[in-house]
Amino acid sequence: MKPIASTAKILADKMLNQYIDKTWVDWAVEMLVEGFDTEHLVILAGESPPYNQFYLDSLTNKVLSELNLDYSNEHKIIKKYVCYLIDKALKSEMKISEVLEIIDDLYNSNREYLFNFVLLSSDAEFLTYSDKGFSWDGTIENNIDEITIMIIDYFADWKSENCEKETVII
């Protein structure tokens, strides 16, 4: 049995020490619906605000351990999270601008493989204020529709090169 797709986000959030919130509770509920049943997953699914981060940090560690979900390999976790985000954008479940903003936030010198997303994000943001892009090959003199198509094409290419060789789900 494979964890649900949003597990990629959950593991990335855990690795990045993000705030534990309703997203985690919703994930736990979905995992239970999919047939995963552990003691601490049930407890997490029943949590409600206000969220005690100290308690939830310990609880989520137990949940991930029970489910044998490892978040120690940063490169693998970030890549799977980007695959998840791209998939959401390609299915129109998230706005392209939202996906680019999240990936832009994930970028750092250790994650050089995300640099082109940063350039695309810059172009997309710039085009909201102007009709000319500046940093990505081919964006100069293009309009927002052409840039959107270029971004979608890049997402699809990146997904086929990085996501489909292995399962996107953890």
Instruction: Confirm if 21 and 52 have CB atoms less than 8 A apart.
Output: no
Task: Please indicate, yes or no, whether residues 81 and 158 belong to a single structural domain of this protein.
Answer: yes
Looking at the domain assignment, is residue 36 inside a domain? yes
Task: Please indicate, yes or no, whether residues 57 and 122 belong to a single structural domain of this protein.
Answer: no
Task: Please indicate, yes or no, whether residues 106 and 150 belong to a single structural domain of this protein.
Answer: yes
pLDDT at 103 over 80: yes
Task: Please indicate, yes or no, whether residues 88 and 54 belong to a single structural domain of this protein.
Answer: no
Q: How many domains does the chain have?
A: 2
Task: Please indicate, yes or no, whether residues 23 and 53 belong to a single structural domain of this protein.
Answer: yes
According to the model, what pLDDT value does residue 120 have? Answer: 80
Task: Please indicate, yes or no, whether residues 148 and 78 belong to a single structural domain of this protein.
Answer: yes
Asked, as a colleague might, if the bond just before 3 is cis with ω within 30 of 0, I would say no
φ and ψ at 97, to 5 degrees? Answer: -60, -35
Residue where a domain terminates, one of 19, 46, 66 = 66
What is d(CA 127, CA 145) in angstroms, rounded to the nearest whole number?
10
Task: Please indicate, yes or no, whether residues 47 and 108 belong to a single structural domain of this protein.
Answer: no
Looking at the domain assignment, is residue 1 inside a domain? no
Domain of 155, in residue numbers: 74-162
Task: Please indicate, yes or no, whether residues 88 and 141 belong to a single structural domain of this protein.
Answer: yes
Looking at the domain assignment, is residue 2 inside a domain? no
Residue where a domain terminates, one of 27, 46, 66 = 66
Please give the residue that has the higher pLDDT: either 76 or 130: 76
Please give the residue that has the higher pLDDT: either 146 or 11: 11
pLDDT at 68 over 90: yes
According to the model, what pLDDT value does residue 128 have? Answer: 58
* 6-20 average pLDDT score: 97
Q: What is the CA radius of gyration of the chain?
A: 18
Task: Please indicate, yes or no, whether residues 59 and 82 belong to a single structural domain of this protein.
Answer: no
Neighbours of 6 (CB within 10 A): 18
Task: Please indicate, yes or no, whether residues 114 and 86 belong to a single structural domain of this protein.
Answer: yes
Looking at the domain assignment, is residue 139 inside a domain? yes
Choice among 23-32, 52-61, 140-149, 155-164 with the minimum mean pLDDT: 140-149
Looking at the domain assignment, is residue 169 inside a domain? no
